[in-house]
Amino acid sequence: KSNYFLKIIQLLDDYPKCFIVGADNVGSKQMQQIRMSLRGKAVVLMGKNTMMRKAIRGHLENNPALEKLLPHIRGNVGFVFTKE
């Protein structure tokens, strides 16, 4: 769990752009292909919504704009972090 928090915070620091993607009806094979096609350009991170929210809330003082993400973390979602 603590590794997950550190990973989210590091990704938020390292990548200027982050978007939320819905992962409903996405199989593991398709997810693997997505990760492979984004390798080198972006990082896909899936996880429990409560963990994601907690990590973002803990990082708000460094980046208050992240608060806009919180209401969108609902259902089966993940983050894609990118520099492009």
- Hey, what domains does the chain have and what are their CATH numbers? 1-82 (3.30.70.1730)
User: For residue 46, how far is the Cα from the chain centroid?
Assistant: 6
pLDDT reading at 84 higher than 90: no
**Alpha-carbon span 68 to 82, nearest angstrom:** 18
pLDDT at 33 (0 to 100): 94
**Alpha-carbon span 38 to 52, nearest angstrom:** 21
Condensed to tens digits (0 to 9), the pLDDT of residues 35-78 reads 999 999 999 999 899 999 998 898 888 888 888 889 999 999 99
pLDDT at 4 (0 to 100): 86
Condensed to tens digits (0 to 9), the pLDDT of residues 3-34 reads 888 888 899 889 989 889 998 888 889 999 99
pLDDT at 82 (0 to 100): 93
